[in-house]
Amino acid sequence: MNTTPTAPAPRIAIIGAGPGGLTCARILQRHGIAVTVYDRDSGPGARDQGGTLDLHEDNGQIALREAGLLEEFFRICRPEGQEMRQLDPAGTILFRHTPDEGERFKPEIDRGDLRDLLLNSLEPGTVRWGHTLRSVDGSAEGPRRLRFDDASAIEADLVIGADGAWSTVRRAVSPALPEYTGVSFLEGWFHDVESRHHEVAALVGQGGAAAADGERGLFAQRNSGDHIRVYVIQRVPADWIAASGLTVQDTEAVRAHLLEQYRDWSPALRRLITDNDGVYVDRPINALPVPHTWEHNPTVTLLGDAAHLMPPLGGGVNLALLDACELALALSDSDGVAEAVRVYEKTMLPRSTDIQRLLDHGAEELLSTGLPDFAAQEAPQDAALAAPQEAR
């Protein structure tokens, strides 16, 4: 970005230290542009970061290349995690993809490992922890005043909302709120799987395994450190746990309810319900209205889920990283913030609208008994399966 003594460097604030926000900050710093990231967490280890992510060669990996982190990513990712299996409720494998030697199209990485990779690449002090954004005030022409829950405030010439599904920054440009899709995940964890859950480990393999019957499904995915996460997928009301007279903390009662729902499924698959370690985590699937766009604002923009929250069909984090990359490059190449935001949104908004429309009601695909379209083009035992992903 070109600056002069009469036009000082803009003050750029990114809200949210997820993959998108951190990638944007890293690429900006590589281009000599100062930036500060604000996050509500008290520190980088404040909470579990979620499951595993596959970063695609044609978007997420492009962003990591621009960040100068692609080779380091390849050193710590898990190419074997590209193995995917689809089963029927009887436990029969319908097809299976085993990655070729050297295959790098979408290797897996744990969300926490990706966050650490990005955090460690930033200049010290870039991330300000313990800052929960309360509001974005001030004129659309700027500067903007950011107020936080601890009563502190800062001014910024550009506010980048990378703060996820329930973005506070989004309120400055759009009244849209996420809506429940009608499909819900219940997450369970399995630890020390090779020694304590060897049958589950054998069922899942090195990547992921999915099964569905049209109304309900199961998706299990290998994580690093000898862990597996399982997602119980159901078409249910958002408040189904309370409506069933249950609490998510009452693991045994929730299990009994689920076993009744999955009573006709094979014993091998029912282990994904009965054998998990600890309590379940309730994850209703929400999405923004389609399309989600807003009028150009020269001092506020959005990326990732804050801009285009969609069902978790394998694209969320990749789109967030691509958004982050394109915004950072626009800021480095443009003469001013307003021009950079316009250039970025000219590409990002049509792309996200197209994908939103493609995935509209896509949560239903997680329950489908049919094979993915691309499976018909491959041998039944050699096909890939798009994995559910979390995205902040």
The DSSP string of 19-47 is HHHHHHHHHHHHTT---EEE-SSSSTTSS
Can you say how many angstroms the Cα of residue 244 is from the centroid of all Cα atoms in its chain? 29
**pLDDT computed for residue 384 by the predictor:** 29
- Mean pLDDT for back-to-back runs of 10 residues, the chain (392 residues): 67 97 98 97 83 93 98 96 94 92 92 96 98 97 96 97 98 97 95 96 95 94 95 96 96 96 96 94 95 96 97 86 98 95 97 90 77 38 34 36
Q: What share of the chain is helix, strand, coil (3-state, %, to 5)?
A: 35, 25, 45
**Distances 26 to 15, 185, 390 between C-alpha atoms, Å:** 14, 32, 22
Query: Max CA-CA distance within the chain?
Result: 72
Cα 369 to Cα 265: distance, rounded to the nearest angstrom: 14
**What would the pLDDT profile of 12-37 be if each residue is shown by its tens digit?**
999 999 999 999 999 999 999 999 99
Considering the entire predicted model, what is its pTM?
0.91
Residue among 379, 382, 388 nearest 211 (CA) = 388
Report whether 212 contacts 243 (CB < 8 A): no
Residue pointed to by tokens 């990779």 = 117
**What would the pLDDT profile of 131-146 be if each residue is shown by its tens digit?**
999 999 999 999 999 9
Domains in the chain: ranges and CATH: 12-81+103-178+288-362 (3.50.50.60), 181-285+364-377 (3.30.9.30)
Number of Cβ within 10 Å of residue 145's Cβ equals 15
Cα 114 to Cα 102: distance, rounded to the nearest angstrom: 20
**pLDDT computed for residue 368 by the predictor:** 81
Number of Cβ within 10 Å of residue 225's Cβ equals 10
